[in-house]
Amino acid sequence: MMTKQPVQLISPRFAAALYFAFLAIIFLVLAKFILLSVANNLNLPLLPMLLSVILTGAIAGALFGEWLAKPQAWWRLMLLGCALALLGLFQITWGILVRAWLFENVFFQHLQRWQDYVVVFGLVFSSVTLIVGLWMIPLTGLAAIYFNKHFLPGLLAADAQRLHNTDTPDQESNNQND
């Protein structure tokens, strides 16, 4: 007689990590082509940023996955989604500045003090926020609400149904063998 090991349902942390990593990829591609059409000097390096946003989205999803899975008010989920969008905007800003520092070093040679770097960061961040953040912040908040209210419950229900369907044929085959 074989003993069955209990099969766990999908972890909310794992599901959130995959969900927000995929969402980060979509937002990066949209941001890249929006910024490319607006200004040539706001260009993002795609491959390093792609690896960075996948990692950041997966870590943020894994960190907040359990919290996102709990039933709660929509405005809390919206605030967390907006905070994740701000994290993404900071990441896009750093990507633009690092690319500019590496490939367009003439501008950065004129900066004298650390306050100049802070001002440049603030200007680039405010530009990215106005260009990309106006649609990215609310959509990330809505994505967090969708994850809590529809995506994760549907995923858990489908996984429970799959587990129920795989358990049923074993019981029927045992009844036929008796």
Instruction: Delimit the domains of the chain by residue range.
Output: 12-166
pLDDT recorded at residue 1: 47
pLDDT over 70 (residue 90): yes
DSSP helix/strand/coil, 2: coil
pLDDT recorded at residue 42: 60
Per-residue b or e along 108-127, where b marks 16 or more CB atoms closer than 10 Å to that residue's CB? eeeeeeeeeeeebeeebbeb
Task: Taking residues 7-29, report their average pLDDT.
Answer: 86
Closest to 14 (Cα-Cα) out of 58, 54, 50? 58
pLDDT recorded at residue 171: 53
Strands (E), 20-164: none
Q: How many CB atoms lie within 10 A of CB 35?
A: 20
Contact status, residue 96 vs residue 42, Cβ threshold 8 Å: yes
**pTM for the structure as a whole:** 0.77
pLDDT recorded at residue 177: 57
pLDDT over 70 (residue 120): yes
Contact status, residue 19 vs residue 147, Cβ threshold 8 Å: yes
pLDDT over 80 (residue 74): yes
pLDDT recorded at residue 96: 83
Task: Taking residues 40-46, report their average pLDDT.
Answer: 70
pLDDT over 80 (residue 173): no
Cα angle value 128/45/21 (rounded, 5°) = 75
> What tokens does 22 get?
């995929």
